[in-house]
């Protein structure tokens, strides 16, 4: 059974710091991996989607990498801002049930002004 | 509308009562998904519809949970004899289709269910 783990569970950093969020998964037979942002009381916003054949994706200050063979992904946030404060979730889509997202528990990020 | 909408945004009920949660997907999206998110956890898959039929309901926790999508658009998640453990945020998502790995799921804001 696929299990997705995110470390750390919570993170507090001063504004301007570069930071890395980690995601690991137990079964490497995935189609893709996706990073989401969740603000309190709101739904999930997709940040980056990495196909299994790709190594990384970039969007603005965000960069996500994928090492499928080792079951790991990282989300790098450059020059963090208070507006980046949210919960960040990673999710994988498996090959044998490609419609279903399997999520980690998330990392709660607080960027202090 | 432009995105997935869910009603109500909050629902408080008493143990043993029946509740219905509604999801309006993005227009034209044929695939619809329900997830449940407990406090401090990531969303967990409940059920997926392709058109009007439930293609996979393996995530429904027990037979108190049921979902329908009679016309292939709006979906209703129904919970009978609610229990305190059902308290969670219920998220709905839709995608253009479901068969391709490239189909992105778009999420609604969720319904926060509290069972007293």
Question: ω into residue B13 within 30 of 0, thus cis?
Answer: no
- For B37-93, the pLDDT digits (tens) are 999 999 999 999 998 988 899 999 999 999 999 998 999 999 999 999 999 999 999
What whole-number distance in Å separates Cα of residue A106 and Cα of residue A89?
A: 4
Quick check: A30 and A98 in contact, CB under 8 A?
no
For chain A, the distance separating the N- and C-terminal CA atoms, rounded to the nearest angstrom, is 41
- For A67-98, the pLDDT digits (tens) are 999 999 999 999 999 999 999 999 999 887 77
Contact residues of B toward A, CB < 8 A: 4, 31, 33, 35, 40-45, 48, 55-56, 59, 91, 93, 95, 98-102, 104-110, 112
Q: Which residue of A has its CA nearest to B100?
A: A98
Quick check: B95 and B29 in contact, CB under 8 A?
yes
What whole-number distance in Å separates Cα of residue B22 and Cα of residue A47?
A: 26
By DSSP bridging, strand B19-24 and strand B75-79 are antiparallel
- For B50-59, the pLDDT digits (tens) are 989 888 999 9
More confident residue, A56 or A97: A56
Q: Using CB atoms, which residue from A6, A44, A100 is nearest to B107?
A: A44
Residues of chain A with Cβ-Cβ distance to B55 below 8 Å are 99
């Amino acid at each position: 059974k696929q299990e997705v783990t995110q470390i750390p569970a919570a993170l507090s950093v001063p504004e301007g710091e570069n930071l890395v969020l980690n995601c690991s998964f137990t079964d490497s037979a995935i189609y893709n991996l996706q990073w989401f942002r969740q603000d309190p009381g709101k739904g999930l916003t997709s940040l980056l989607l990495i196909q299994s054949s790709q190594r990384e994706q970039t969007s603005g200050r965000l960069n996500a990498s994928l090492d499928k063979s080792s079951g790991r992904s990282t989300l790098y946030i450059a020059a963090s801002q208070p507006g980046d404060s949210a919960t960040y979730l990673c999710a994988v889509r498996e090959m044998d049930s490609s419609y279903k997202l399997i999520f980690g528990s998330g990392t709660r990020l607080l960027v202090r002004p | 509308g432009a995105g997935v909408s869910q009603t109500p945004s909050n629902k408080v009920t008493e143990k043993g009562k029946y509740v219905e949660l509604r999801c309006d997907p993005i227009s034209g999206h044929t695939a619809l998904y329900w997830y449940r998110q407990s406090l401090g956890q990531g969303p967990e898959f409940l059920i997926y519809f392709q058109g009007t039929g439930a293609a996979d309901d393996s995530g429904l926790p027990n037979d108190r949970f049921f979902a329908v999508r009679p016309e292939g658009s709006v979906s209703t998640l129904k919970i009978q004899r609610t229990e305190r453990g059902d308290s969670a945020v219920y998220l709905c998502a839709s995608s253009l289709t479901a068969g391709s790995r490239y189909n992105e799921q778009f999420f609604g804001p969720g319904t926060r269910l509290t069972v007293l």
